[in-house]
Amino acid sequence: MVQESPSTRGLVDGDIRTPLRRITGILDSMPTEPRTYGEGEKARTSTQVTLNFRDLEVIETTEPYHYPIFSPQFSQSNRKQSRWGILSESFNEIVDSVLTAEQKDKDNPNFIPPKDRTDIKDCIGKRFGLVMADGEDGRPNLHMLYDGRSDSDKPTATWMVYSVEGFGVAGGQGVTPLNKAMSMLDGKTLADFNAAALADPIVRGDATLLASISMPPSAPTSFSNTMVASGQFTVDENGVYHKIVA
């Protein structure tokens, strides 16, 4: 039997072992392997999907993580309410954001069926942003997922995609991280801006921008100093930044 490639499409309704909480990394490969659970009549086989990320940028972690790679594993499922389903739906939302309203309208002649849209296998080699949905420190909330040990649904932490290179950032609505940061700086003190920007998922999706915002205020290449030096912002006697309108 030919093993089909893992897909984020065709979903139906239906424990954290890493210190990582928010990362970006290049999807290098996604191998699969069958895995059998249980014995005898209760034995069941599922397909295990491993997402191999390289060139890792660690944005949030609960303890130091010094490895350049990360390989989360999922049991492939067509159920939306599964770890693979949650990851898939978050990925689909981002890549589908580049489609027009006509391409999403099933009654329109330009409609593109989900099976013909960009799938995760089409994005190998692109940089992804992943966040652990655990409801902590401003991250997405836990999801109610089935737990086989208790034979019931329970709040579960699981990975979600928040950005895909070439497609955008979840909730971005076409706004780039830089533009979002600039709009947030306008009318704020540096302290207020830093608190807001460091908690914003769009800004956090750009690791380079995030690093410049996190620099000491005295650093010449910090975000705020660069904005003033480039003539895009002024700062008044109260330390409030103002965007210069051309």
Position 65 scores a pLDDT of 94
Residue with tokens 């070439």: 166
In whole numbers, what is the pLDDT of the chain averaged over residues? 87
Secondary structure (H, E, C), 65-97:
CCCCCECCEEECCCECCCHHHHHHHHHHHHHHH
Position 14 scores a pLDDT of 44
Backbone conformation region of residue 191, classed left if phi is above 0, alpha if psi is from -120 to 50, else beta: alpha
CB-based burial, 6-29: b 16+ in 10 Å, e otherwise: bbbbebeeeeeeeebbbbbbbbee
Domain ranges of the chain: 20-169, 177-243
Say which residue, 16 or 80, is predicted with more confidence.
80
pLDDT tens column, 228-238: 999 999 999 99
Instruction: Categorize the per-residue pLDDT at 188 as very low, low, confident or very high, splitting at 50, 70 and 90.
Output: very high
CA 148 to chain centre: 27
Share of the chain above pLDDT 90, in %: 57
Position 208 scores a pLDDT of 82
Say which residue, 246 or 131, is predicted with more confidence.
131
Q: Is the pLDDT of residue 224 over 90?
A: yes
pTM: 0.68
Position 83 scores a pLDDT of 94
Backbone conformation region of residue 54, classed left if phi is above 0, alpha if psi is from -120 to 50, else beta: beta
**Which tokens sit at 146?**
């089935």
- Specify burial of residue 66 (Cβ count, 10 A radius: 0-12, 13-18, 19+): exposed
pLDDT tens column, 26-68: 999 999 998 877 777 777 788 999 999 999 999 889 999 999 9
Q: Are 103 and 110 in contact (CB under 8 A)?
A: yes
CA-wise closest residue to 120 among 99, 139, 158, 94: 94
pLDDT tens column, 98-141: 888 899 999 999 999 999 999 999 999 999 999 999 988 878 88
Share of the chain above pLDDT 70, in %: 91
